[in-house]
Every structure is written in C-alpha cells, then in structure tokens.
Amino acid sequence: MYGRGRSGEASLKLDRKMKLALLFLSALLAVEAGPAQKRESRSGKLLVCYYGSWAVYRPGDGKFDVEQIDPTLCTHLVFGFAGLSYENKIHALDPWNELVDEWGSGKDAYRRFNALKTVNPGMKTILAIGGWNEGSTKYSQMAADPAKRATFVTSCVDFLQKYGFDGLDMDWEYPANRGGTPADKVSTLRPPPDANFVQLLRELKAAFRPHGLLLTAAVSAGKSTIDTAYDVPAMAESLDIISVMVYDMHGAWEPFTHHNAPLYAHPLDQSGDNRYFNANYSMRYWLSLGAPREKLVMGMPTYGRGFSLDRPEENGFYAPASQAGMAGPYTREAGILGFNEICEIQKQYGDFQRHWNHDVKVPYCTFNSRQWFGYDDIESISLKAQLIVDLNLAGGMVWSVETDDFRGKCGLGNNPILNAIKRVLDGGHVEATTADSSVTSTTGTSTTSTSAPSPSTTSSGQGECSHAGFGLRITASGHKLPPNVDAESLSPESQIKTLKRFRVRSSKSRKEL
C-alpha cells in the first residue's frame, strides 16, 4: 500500500499544506496564462489530448512535466495511465509521480494535472486506465464477473472524485484479444444478455451519471480487431467520446518501410489487412458500424515510426528494411522518434531529406544513410484534421502532447502539431509546405523530396485531397509497378520481392490494431 501510518492531527496539517500548495500552483498558472476563461473550439470540434506521464523521466530537453502542458489548446486532457489492481480496483501505476503520501513524499501529478483547469475552466480532465502494457487478460476476467465489475465501478467513482478528474477513459487493448475471451464482445448465453465489455460500460455509465462524470474509450483502428472486439452500437450508447487510435499501423515488426499513420491507402496496399490500414478507411468503417459522428474522434500521432534500410538506394515505400530505425535521444526506443526529436535530427544530419507521398498524403524522412522514418508534420496533420471536418466527426485526438515540439526547436513556435490541428478544426486553412529549389522527383509522379528545407518555410494553400493515378507501369525489367514506386532505385530481384510482399501480409509479429 502506498504511504505509511501517521496520526490524524499530522495528516490534517499536511492536508492544509497540500491545499495551500495547490492554491499557489493554480495562482501561478493563472498569472502565466492570463485571465482564466472558458476556451472552446469555435466550430465546436473536440480536441482530446493524451499526456504520457512517464515523459517526466526523459533526459534533457525531452523531459516533460505537467506544467509544460498548454491547457488552452485542448478541450479534453487525458492522463495516461492508471491500472487495474489484483483486487479489481483502479490504482496509480506510478505512485511516486502521481500521488503524495501523508509524509509528503511524492510529486502529486494527479492534482497538479487537474489544477490546469484553473487556466481553462472549460477543459475536462480524464484519467485513462489500461494501455498496451496493461494487456487484456485481467480486464477480461474482471468484466466477466458481476462482483468484480461492481468493485471496479465503485473504485473508479471514488478515485476520480478523490483526485478531481472529470471522467474515465477505458483504454482496454483489446476486448476479446490478447488474452481476452470472445465473451468480451459476444455473450455465450441464450438468450444473450449484454456482452462483458458492453455490460461493464453500462454499469460504469450508470454509476457516473449522478456525479456528472464522463466515460470515454480509446479503441482500435484495425478492421480485424474492430470486428472481434466491439459491439459498436451497444458500446456507443454508454460512451461520451470514442477515440480511434489511427496510428501504429506499420512499424519495424514488418520487413518493409511504411508509414506509422497513413491518411489514405498506398497503391501497393492491395491485399491482406494493409488496404485497411489508413485513417480514411478506419473512420469510415467505424461510421458504417453505427458509431455516432457526434461521439467519434480521430486519433493522430505526434511521433513517427522508422526502419533501417537494407539498401540506402531503395528508400521509398515498401523498401526492404529488416531492422528497426534508430532510437531517439528522449523517447529512447528503437524505431520511434517524436516530432520534437525529428526537429533536432534534421539539424544534426546533413543528408536529412523530407519526402512527400502524394497518394498517402504523409511525409517521411531519410537520413544517416539508412534511416527511414514515417511521421506527421504540419502539412499532413492539417490534411488529417481536414478529413475530420469533411466527415463531420466530433473532433480529433492526439497521442501525445509530450512528443510535439513543445520547446519550439523547429522554428514553428511551441506545439506546432497541436496548433495546426486546432487551427483546421476551428475552420482555418490547411498548411502546405513550400518546396525549395532542391526538389527532385524520386519515385515517379507520386513522391517528392527536399534537402532539409528550413522547417519554418511554409505557405498557405489547400492541400491535395485526391488520390494520384493507380495505373501500373512497365519497368525495363518487365515488371509492373505502381507509379509511385521508383523502379530505377529497385533491382529486378527487388521489384519481384516488392510485389510479393504486398500480396501476403508479413508473418512477423506486430501490434494488433
């Protein structure tokens, strides 16, 4: 148990001290941000922003604590993550950072996080429970047992009210998957009552309603997981917001390059699940299953995923890549770079090139000979925000605030990704990057690259929203390739391998979407 025993008198004294400290923090935040006011999207669109609390342990300029969150940009701030205890209760996963005991030990991040509402009283704060590392098994076991569900629901109400959160985000990854059971989605009884996940959501909502607490969920973007995990109309009845995690669609678990979060399909995404791994398909699929537009938000990443190329001369989409890309100085995980890290890498490597794929509507960068990272910048994130507007969705979601360029090292101001999303959701224009004179065609008609243009060189203008041509062309070696594949950069053997790779999904392990 977190904390030690102490007399009631001492506890009361400490409680007074903590209240004074929180009042001081609130006043400080209010002074820095100006007069407190309710800030909402002019269009009524939501912007749900996740905060990965472990960023407080990152080194150097990557360290990100609660006070570095700009509470004026988001309508909802989500603290990630709480966990599920063996007693079937919600609990803090990092008590030292998130709580403070009666001896005064701990950083009290929960209360400091919720104090941000003094700057923007219209913003809601939500506590997320789950996440990838929590798995699915114990959530499935809890949801299957009425007594365990009751314990969990009661603990959530108490926990949220104790620390000042406005709601709970269920980030169970995923019902009926990764150790879950089919009963998470579909009842095995006749006549069928609610499946376990739906029943859990209904009981949470019933308990939350008298207290005005919100209930949201982060859900998969992958068709195969959606089909096995969710009864969409039934779960939508209990949820206030449904956040679709449209990222982690491709990564180093595959033997070829592809983007972390494609907006549209690549011409070679012709078979298997690859054709479903893009934001346009995922959001339309959720809508087709009965997700209400007024509750559905589209997730967007502030980080990229990358690869080490097998051969540096083959550097487009679906280029052979058998290893993960480099680790960043702050996130420190192979194959992951935050946008803030990409800003620094652009200045560090003289061979850094930013490429744009006109089919997928996303950038990728190459540098240090063999490094390939697909990421989002102002141009691509603006086009994604425009899709949200075009589909009339409730809004957008961002994972996560601490890997945006929060220190402004790209020369675009602080938090350029978040600001770009907010600008488009508020009815602004789509930013389009202006290429400089070093632009060259590297993959037929569909990809352009620039040799490290100034990151602040942008111009206004409507981005391209239509797909480029999908016609195949004949290479000198007699193989058919889509127009955005650079045949000249692929050997005849690689051209054959390229086509084969896209007809059969890689058998390598990957995160299920």
430 C-beta neighbours (distance < 10 Å), count = 22
Looking at residue 60, its pLDDT comes to 98
Looking at residue 194, its pLDDT comes to 81
In the chain, pLDDT over 70 holds for what percent of residues? 74
- Asked whether residue 158 carries a pLDDT value surpassing 50, the answer given is yes
- Asked whether residue 447 carries a pLDDT value surpassing 90, the answer given is no
Distance separating alpha carbons of residues 215 and 508, to the nearest angstrom: 35
Catalytic residues: 173
- Domain membership of residue 438 (yes or no) is no
Pick from 456, 405, 463: which is nearest to 431 by CA?
463
C-alpha angle 352-354-359 in degrees, rounded to nearest 5: 150
- Asked whether residue 121 carries a pLDDT value surpassing 80, the answer given is yes
Looking at residue 500, its pLDDT comes to 39
Looking at residue 428, its pLDDT comes to 83
Please provide residue 503's backbone torsions phi and psi, each rounded to the nearest 5 degrees. -90, -25
Report how far Cα 302 is from the mean position of its chain's Cα atoms: 7
- Domain membership of residue 117 (yes or no) is yes
**Does residue 402 or residue 428 have the better pLDDT?**
402
Question: In this structure, what CATH number is given to the domain that contains residue 181?
Answer: 3.20.20.80
- Asked whether residue 364 carries a pLDDT value surpassing 50, the answer given is yes
361, 264 contact by CB (below 8 A):
yes
In the chain, pLDDT over 90 holds for what percent of residues? 71
135-157 pLDDT, tens digit per residue, is 999 999 999 999 999 999 999 99
Distance separating alpha carbons of residues 423 and 47, to the nearest angstrom: 11
479 C-beta neighbours (distance < 10 Å), count = 18
- Domain membership of residue 161 (yes or no) is yes
9 C-beta neighbours (distance < 10 Å), count = 8
Looking at residue 231, its pLDDT comes to 96
Q: Is 207 helix (H, G, I), strand (E, B) or coil?
A: helix
End-to-end Cα, the chain, rounded Å: 35
- Domain membership of residue 246 (yes or no) is yes
Q: What is the mean pLDDT of the chain?
A: 82
Query: What is the domain range of residue 418?
Result: 46-301+376-426
Q: Which two tokens stand for residue 498?
A: 């390229």
226, 175 contact by CB (below 8 A):
no
Domain count, the chain: 1
Mean pLDDT of 375-396: 98
Please provide residue 367's backbone torsions phi and psi, each rounded to the nearest 5 degrees. -165, 170
Eight-state DSSP code of residue 241? E
Q: Is the peptide bond before 2 cis (omega within 30 degrees of 0)?
A: no
Tokens 């108490």 correspond to what residue?
158
Q: How confident is the model at residue 232 (pLDDT cuts 50, 70, 90)?
A: very high
- Domain membership of residue 232 (yes or no) is yes
Q: What burial class does residue 325 get, using C-beta atoms within 10 Å of its C-beta: 0-12 exposed, 13-18 middle, 19+ buried? A: buried
Q: Which two tokens stand for residue 122?
A: 């219209």
Mean pLDDT of 448-473: 32
Full DSSP string of 385-430: HHHHHHTT-SEEEEE-GGGS-TT-TTSS-SSHHHHHHHHHHTT-PP
Pick from 43, 35, 36: which is nearest to 421 by CA?
43
- Domain membership of residue 290 (yes or no) is yes
- Domain membership of residue 436 (yes or no) is no
pTM assigned to the model: 0.80
Mean pLDDT of 417-439: 72
Looking at residue 270, its pLDDT comes to 86
- Domain membership of residue 419 (yes or no) is yes
Looking at residue 44, its pLDDT comes to 93
